[in-house]
Chain A
Amino acid sequence: MSTADTPVAIQPGGLWLAFTQNRLAWVGLVLLALIVFIALFAPWLAPHDPLEQNIVARLEPPSAEFWLGTDSYGRDVLSRLIYGARISLFVGFVAILIAMLVGTAIGVLAGYVGGVFDQLVMGVLDVLLAFPTLLLGLMIAAMLGASLENLIIAIAVTEVAPFARVARAPTITLRQRDFVEASRSYGCGPFRIMTRHILPNMISDVVVMSSLWLASAIRTEASLSFIGLGVPPPAPTWGAMIREGFENILDAWWLAVFPSLAILVTVLALNLLGDALRDASDPRSRAR
């Protein structure tokens, strides 16, 4: 297994360990696969058009025709839930991808350059890390205005700091390793050392954590949509559906309950998977 001075997280077969040692990882993986499947094949799975309004069938409780009931415009809750999976996953995934690129770049740069630059960058990142994710996202989304792009930017910003932190730590160790020293003596520039020698050796650390932070991104997306800063209506987002359910909470419980469960299951699946991956990548916690 990895020795103390190798920061490389997942060895060949390490990924498999996550699934052999932790049965909950399977639960997470199966649930996640199911949600991705639903999102991909939404047009074929949804029984109704998610945007089709039906004034006659307003606020209908779950029935044979509308399995999960209808909302105040008579739209089918199940179909909206199915299409909502697309928005949640898409926004979360793209935001995490951006955060990963930017965060990793900042972390590697801070770790490689070191000194005052590193201290200042980490000081700011520490504050960002401690700053309420939701409030940060809320402020940014509010300032930029509610749209799909701005929502993604807002969520990406909230997730940059954790990526930078995880990228920085192994960079500091790798910087002093012999092979980096050797390539430096060969005349390698800092950019080449960072991208060709350091990055490939620590990228698995970063990727492992992205599953946990995807969970957090999806939670933020739902919260912002709930507040009204998400993808604008009539797009079916889980957060906005819960908002509507909250407004009709006294006479239509199904409006809030089903999207709530959808968010819970999605976030839980990602957390189960992320937890297992992290445990498998950290020999110390694996021993436990």
Chain B
Amino acid sequence: MIGYLVRRILLAIPTLFVMLTAIFVLVRLVPGDAASVILGDQASAASLAALREKLGLDQPVHVQYLSFLGKILTGDFGQSLSSGRSVIREVLLVLPSTIELTVAAITIGLVFGLPLGIAAALARNGWVDYVSRVVSLVGLSFPAFVSGILMLIVFSIQLGWFPVLGNTSGAGSFAERMRALALPALNLGIIMTAYVMRVTRAAMLGVLTEDYIRTARAKGVGPAQLVVTHALRNGLIPIITVVGLYFGTLIGNSVLTEIIFNRPGLGKLIIGALNARDYTLLQGLMIIFAICVIVVNTLTDLAYGLVDPRVKYS
């Protein structure tokens, strides 16, 4: 296990290095240069030169690159141009609401997706299976902002069940918070449910035809125990992968959801940085996302090893 762990973590390092280089290059691809884009056409030569110096753009490219890498290694992801706060601080300020939203969405996805997927697999080609497949495909086809807007129109505006403006302050009583969280969480949760259901169905179908399931059935193992302890245990690997891989999509979808429901969070932070042409904040956010994705990817692979001992030795 230790060897597998070390090997997997060692693989993450060159990957991170390549990603960081890609981000560095991408930011240098800005037409003109970052300073002229940030300050606009009307900026004076003096203020341009001052900002270039502040951003280090007056240095040769290889010096910029080395200081870029060096700062990241020491945990410095830059500062927001508009607020002057460090990128880390900006992220930490909004992170709790994004975590609240994503945890709620993953919970909804697992609570509904797992049983529905198992039910569809057990009733293969029956009407339950058919309906659930169509419903999950519809769920997967909704861009998050489309489903969000439709929910907003129906539940907030037409029926008046939920606030239209959402939880802008992050304060308020627990009940108010939950009421503001309900629609955004449901919006992401439905898409998550569709994903989990599809992969659970496919995984269970793969496992249910295995010999050891037939053996267990022949031994007289009851249907509930058969599904939970025999089939699901082995079907879990692809499900874990999907939840792990879905993390990225979930963040992307939460950006759109946060805009629609006017929630604070990473999404609104990114859009704000975009509109303010705050390139240093955008670059810092990209770096943080890249690191997060690599960490989650590595953790997902490690979780494989825990669930399926065979993976460790391959």
A-side residues, CB < 8 A to B, are 24, 119-120, 123-124, 126-127, 129-135, 138-140, 142-145, 215, 219, 222-223, 226-227, 229, 242, 245-246, 249-250, 253, 256-257, 260, 263-264, 267-268, 271-272, 275, 285, 288
User: A211 to nearest B CB, angstroms?
Assistant: 13
User: Inside 8 A of B4's CB, which chain A residues have their CB?
Assistant: none
What are 12 A-B interface contacts by the 8 Å CB criterion?
A: A120-B18, A124-B18, A130-B248, A135-B255, A139-B282, A223-B143, A226-B256, A242-B145, A249-B149, A260-B150, A263-B146, A268-B137
Closest 10 CB pairs of A and B: A132-B252, A134-B252, A123-B15, A268-B141, A267-B141, A132-B248, A260-B146, A130-B248, A219-B143, A124-B18
User: B102 to nearest A CB, angstroms?
Assistant: 12
User: Inside 8 A of B255's CB, which chain A residues have their CB?
Assistant: 132, 134-135, 138
Q: Which of B175-183, B287-295, B305-313 contacts A (4 or more CB under 8 A)?
A: B287-295
Residue among A143, A219, A226, A250 facing the most chain B CB atoms (10 A cut-off) = A143
Q: A227-B271, A268-B138 are in contact. List 9 more A-B contacts (CB 8 A).
A: A124-B18, A124-B19, A126-B297, A127-B297, A135-B251, A142-B282, A227-B259, A242-B146, A257-B150
What number of B residues sit within 8 Å (CB to CB) of A? 55
CB proximity to A under 8 Å, residues B247-264: 247-249, 251-253, 255-256, 259-260
User: Inside 8 A of B140's CB, which chain A residues have their CB?
Assistant: 271
B153 is an interface residue with CB less than 8 A from chain A? yes
Would B293 and A131 count as touching, CB distance under 8 A?
A: yes
Give the CA-CA distance A129 to B247 in the complex, in Å.
11
User: Inside 8 A of A275's CB, which chain B residues have their CB?
Assistant: 137
Would A253 and B205 count as touching, CB distance under 8 A?
A: no
Counted as pairs of residues, one from A and one from B, with CB atoms less than 8 Å apart, the total is: 134
Contact of B289 among A129, A131, A143, A257 (CB under 8 A): A131
Give the CA-CA distance A81 to B289 in the complex, in Å.
35
Give the CA-CA distance A222 to B256 in the complex, in Å.
11
User: Inside 8 A of A271's CB, which chain B residues have their CB?
Assistant: 137, 140-141
